[in-house]
A and B are shown apart, each in its own frame.
Chain A
């Protein structure tokens, strides 16, 4: 296995693991740490996490697969997660999705060839009153309009 956690990440993990009476409970935090460390969760990273908490790689994999926020493939520098659930739908999330799909030529789950953007429609982000909303990586963007979405993409392209 070529991947390794940094000393800093390992120390952070040991601090977190102490919060639980059993190490296995620290699997979700371990996967989060791995995702921060490596940008996504390649199979080797999932195996590393399994080793940290003392479960089998298969058990760690099924957990990584179960939760939608763990990236099982390498995404773009900016991961656009557009909410598509009811309140956002009623306020135009389909138009927002269309802007992303047309402007970046992306289908759900895809990444642009330059690695700058990836795109995934997601379920309710609890921004129902500020919809349509989305997350770019961990940050919320709310009260979206097609024009704002276009401008945001232009802005992120330059970064």
Chain B
């Protein structure tokens, strides 16, 4: 079981009045990890991050150090570091605050990552809606550059790094790393076929590492305290801290940084003040794409990658959405199918057609014009779209569809006529 009280790493400056200025940052040991960083070789930095067990916080949970290790050694092409700050997964809202309240921490983590992979040019791809955060980041970059923390020969180390922000313009799919790269190249954000993986052929055809905001912001602590210390927090498989979020039917929605390992129900009760408006019915544990869990399934669920996996769902982004007993799961799923059909980039037929088909079927069900056969059809469509597309958006729609219908079939059947009744084939 993980510890529940520990020194915050990612949120420690959130309540400081000048935490997002260089002065406030330096007064609270900001950029202190650089001294350690430049005393190591890039390979040693990668090894330290591997030892920490740090997993990507953007949702996929891929081991960060391993990802960095995929960059070819002595590449003749430039290497790029790209930050995925396209925070758009419904239920997820913490990168936003990290950029706003402690932008220099992200820059400090980026310097470490860039040094490790041999990159001298980095971009922060920020979703278009976060204009305020972009302005704060731009100001922080300028301050850091003026003080010798960015630009040429950072702090006399001989290492150069330029960082630029890049504003997205409203497309969920740009959170997918290769969709993001396309967008950064000035194109539609349509994901690329992998391989080649970005580490080999990414931005502008060059080796590229894409990391989430909180993943990179975790690195300075790892460098200062050692990978082993980080691995000592949380559980064996889920090391370190995460900024967990709670939204939906919750008394005091918000975000809290803590090591992995707290039981979900304790998280909801102690931090979220309990469920609002009735008893717990369901939790979507890590952003809207992760399979929903019933209240019963949450009984022995902990905030860890392994417990989520045991419950056939995912840690995802760490943003849990809570629903009370009065929630109509059909309407909630309709909301999600609308979201995914709206956000499908349109290049793969199973996704473009499948997400829209699921949405139309739910519209028909909600109108009372469907039979239970449509529910089975929805499951079939879900099975037929997942795994047949370039990226995971189709799966991100299929997983909620499948889990909602299978776990809350009663809610759906209330809207449906028996299978023997003849109804129209489809509604538009």
Contact = CB atoms under 8 A, between A and B. Distances in A.
Contacts of A66: 171, 188-189, 345
B245 A22 contact: no
B235 to A, nearest CB: 25
Given A63-B186, A129-B255, A123 B343 contact: yes
B87 A126 contact: yes
Contact of A124 (B128, B184, B248, B339): B339
A16 to B, nearest CB: 9
B90 A85 contact: yes
A2 to B, nearest CB: 25
Contacts of A138: 129, 131-132
B93 interface: yes
A131 B247 CA distance: 8
A50 to B, nearest CB: 11
Contacts of A28: 166-169, 183, 186
A67 B170 contact: yes
Interface centre among A21, A24, A31 (most CB of B within 10 A): A21
A65 B132 CA distance: 24
Contact of B335 (A29, A63, A85): A85
Given A68-B169, A135-B129, A87 B91 contact: yes
A25 interface: yes
Interface string A58-90: 000011001111100000000000001111011
B335 A128 contact: no
A19 interface: yes
**Size class of B's contact patch?**
35 or more
Given A53-B186, A124-B89, A86 B288 contact: yes
Nearest to B80: A21
A69 B335 contact: no
Interface in B150-205: 162, 164, 166-172, 183-189, 204
A18 B92 CA distance: 33
Interface string B81-111: 0000001111111011000000000000000
A101 B254 CA distance: 29
A30 to B, nearest CB: 8
B169 A90 contact: no
Nearest to B188: A66
Given A19-B164, A24-B186, A67 B96 contact: no
Interface string A23-37: 011111101100000
Contacts of A20: 204
A32 B91 contact: no
A81 to B, nearest CB: 8
B137 to A, nearest CB: 14
B321 to A, nearest CB: 6
Contacts of B91: 86-87, 124, 128
B367 interface: no
Contacts of B127: 126
B253 interface: yes
B128 A128 contact: no
A129 to B, nearest CB: 4
B129 A126 contact: yes
Given A67-B171, A69-B170, A128 B319 contact: yes
A66 B89 CA distance: 18
A129 B92 CA distance: 9
Interface string B242-286: 000111110001110000000000000000000000000000100
A25 B188 contact: no
A67 B247 contact: no
A31 B342 CA distance: 22
14 contacts: A19-B162, A22-B204, A25-B186, A25-B204, A63-B186, A63-B188, A68-B169, A85-B288, A86-B91, A86-B248, A87-B248, A123-B172, A124-B90, A129-B245
Interface of B: 78, 87-93, 95-96, 123, 127-132, 162, 164, 166-172, 183-189, 204, 245-249, 253-255, 284, 288, 319, 321, 323, 327, 331-332, 335-336, 339, 342-343, 345
